[in-house]
Amino acid sequence: MPNRIVYLLFSLLLLASPAVAQSTLSKPAAVPLLDQENGFRAYHFGEPYARYPKLRVFFDDGPTTTYIDPQEDLHYAGVPLTEVLYTFTPDGLDRISFTTRGQRHSDQLRQQLIARYGPGQPGTSYVNSYEWRGQHVVLSFSAATKENPDAQVLLLRLP
């Protein structure tokens, strides 16, 4: 339950901030790999839920539904994950998030993201966070803290 609340709050912070949406269009340092991947693993932004029949409902909020893949590999580049969530709107896959627990795993996850996408920028919507921006996809990483032992990655399709 706490992961669900953190996920929803974090997603709302990113979506509700007009400054984030505007700054996305004006940031010159795009990460082309984010746009090329256009999602996570075999899940691609804009694809309809029907394309992924093995997903199971995790949370249903009317127009958006968040799913889990019961057969998900709960590792990212060797870092153990606690969950991977896929959120769909009527327009298709819109958000992907995954979490890991503990400072050590948080640090490892951040290092893997830096190795893959470059150094990133300090985040604008959450303390102790980092962002990587493509033209169509943004990736936000929130590190684990003493108050919240979960580190979270949020991949978000941009308008």
pLDDT in tens, the chain (159 residues): 455 544 444 454 444 443 444 343 434 356 999 999 999 999 999 999 999 999 999 999 999 999 999 999 999 999 999 999 999 999 999 999 999 999 999 999 999 999 999 999 998 767 789 999 999 999 999 999 999 999 999 999 998
Comparing CA positions, the residue from 113, 97, 107 lying closest to residue 149 is: 107
Number of separate domains in the chain: 1
- Domain of 110 in residue numbering reads as 2-157
d(CA 75, CA 72): 9
pLDDT at site 156: 97
Q: What is the CATH number of the domain that holds 37?
A: 3.40.1000
pLDDT at site 127: 75
